[in-house]
C-alpha cells in the first residue's frame, strides 16, 4: 500500500507487510513478477536517473542469475569501481564520527526515493 497523499518523494511512505515479499522472481524478472514496491522503486529510480542524481550510469551492467533455490540476481557494474567516491578507512567499529566524511546527514532531499514503514500486524504469506 502506497500513501498517495503527498507528492514529494522524501515524504512518500511505502507501507509494507510480510505479504508484500515476492520470493520467486526468477522466471523473467518481468513486470508480471514485480511487487508494488518493485514498481514504485523502478518509477522513482527512473525519475532520479532522468534528473541526473546518480554519480554514474547503471544501465549497462552484466547480469546473471545464480543457480539455487532463490536464483539470486548478480550484476557487475564497472563504473561502480571506477567512479565511486573514496571509501572511508574504518579501523574500529566504535571510531569517532567524522562529519566531513560521507554520512547519511549529507543526503539531499531529492535523493530520497521513498520512506519504508513495516506493518507488523499483517498476516504472513505462505
48-52, 84-88, 99-103 — which is least confidently predicted? 84-88
What pLDDT score does 121 carry?
A: 67
- Burial class (CB within 10 angstroms; exposed 0-12, middle 13-18, buried 19+) of 123: exposed
What secondary structure letter does DSSP report for 100?
A: T
Give the span between the Cα atoms of 38 and 16, in whole angstroms. Answer: 12
Reading the block at residue 9, the C-alpha cell is 518523494
Take residue 40 and report the three cell numbers written for it. Answer: 514504485
Average of per-residue pLDDT values in the chain: 78
Give the number of other CB atoms < 10 A from CB of residue 75. Answer: 10
Report which DSSP code applies to 2.
B
**Residue 126's Cα: distance from chain center in Å?**
25
- Alpha-carbon Rg for the chain, nearest whole angstrom, is 18
The single-letter DSSP state of residue 32 is G
Stretch 74-92: mean pLDDT: 83
Alpha carbon distances (Å) from 11 to 1, 8, 42, 108, 116: 15, 5, 17, 13, 10
Query: What is the pTM for the complete model shown?
Result: 0.63
Amino acid at each position: 500500500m502506497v500513501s498517495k497523499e503527498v507528492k514529494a518523494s522524501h515524504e512518500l511512505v511505502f507501507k509494507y507487510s510480510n505479504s508484500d515479499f515476492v520470493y520467486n522472481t526468477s522466471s523473467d524478472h518481468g513486470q508480471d513478477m514485480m511487487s508494488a514496491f518493485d514498481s514504485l522503486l523502478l518509477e522513482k529510480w527512473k525519475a532520479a536517473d532522468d534528473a541526473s542524481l546518480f554519480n554514474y550510469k547503471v544501465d549497462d551492467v552484466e547480469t546473471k542469475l545464480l543457480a539455487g533455490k532463490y536464483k539470486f540476481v548478480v550484476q557487475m557494474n564497472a563504473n561502480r569501481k571506477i567512479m565511486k567516491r573514496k571509501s572511508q578507512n574504518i579501523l574500529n567499529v566504535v571510531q569517532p564520527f567524522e562529519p566531513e566524511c560521507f554520512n547519511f546527514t549529507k543526503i539531499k532531499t531529492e535523493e530520497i526515493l521513498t520512506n519504508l514503514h513495516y506493518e507488523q500486524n499483517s498476516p504472513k504469506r505462505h
